[in-house]
Amino acid sequence: MPQGLIDQLSGTPPDPAETADKMETDRRAVAAVLQAERALGRIPEAQSHSNPGYDVLSIDPETGTHYFIEVKGHLPRTTEIHISAQQISKAKSLPYRWRLAIVSVPDDLAQPPSVRYLRDPFFDYTPHFAQTGLPLNVAVLLKDARDPC
């Protein structure tokens, strides 16, 4: 269960510094994916934070192919990321065009984030109908992740 939900249910207010760190990590991660997509010759566009299923829509101008990229930024001390059932559903419906971007964001603002992609990460996974999300181990994901493609 996410710590944020436990804190909310127990009446503990969120830590403003932690919230600011998460927002900055997310911002840097999305910016790094936009840059990686441009380097691939695609035309990326960040989506609304509340967009279900993906954070970046990227179009290959030569083929017209649309790529849907869910961005998960993490700091060096992060051991798990969470993906929603809605994101898994989107990934399974577009297995060759949906990407999970794992972005390692260093604490040092002068250092650039490292972007790695997973293609079709849920090909053999079927969530339970009542499942709302899935925790994923960052280190395991990074072993299978590849350069942006």
Q: Is the pLDDT of residue 5 over 60?
A: no
Q: Look at residue 4 and tell me whether its pLDDT is greater than 90.
A: no
Domain spans in the chain, listed from the N-terminal domain onward: 3-144
35 by Cβ neighbours in 10 Å (0-12 / 13-18 / 19+) ranks as middle
The per-residue pLDDT for range 43-94, each reduced to its tens digit, is 999 999 788 789 999 999 999 999 999 999 999 999 999 999 999 999 999 9
Name the least confident of 4-8, 25-29, 64-68, 125-129. Answer: 4-8
pLDDT of 7 reads: 57
pLDDT band at 129 (very low <50, low <70, confident <90, very high): confident
- Beta strands at 66-74 and 98-104: parallel, antiparallel or unpaired: parallel
In 1-132, the DSSP E strands lie at 43-46, 56-59, 66-74, 80-84, 98-104, 114-119
What digits encode the pLDDT tens for the residues 10-49? 666 554 445 456 789 999 999 999 999 999 999 999 999 7
The CATH code that applies to domain 3-144 is 3.40.1350
Taking the model in full, what pTM does it have?
0.84
Burial of 119 (0-12, 13-18, 19+ CB in 10 A): middle
Cα 120 from Cα 145, distance rounded (Å): 11
Distance CA 85, CA 32 (A): 25
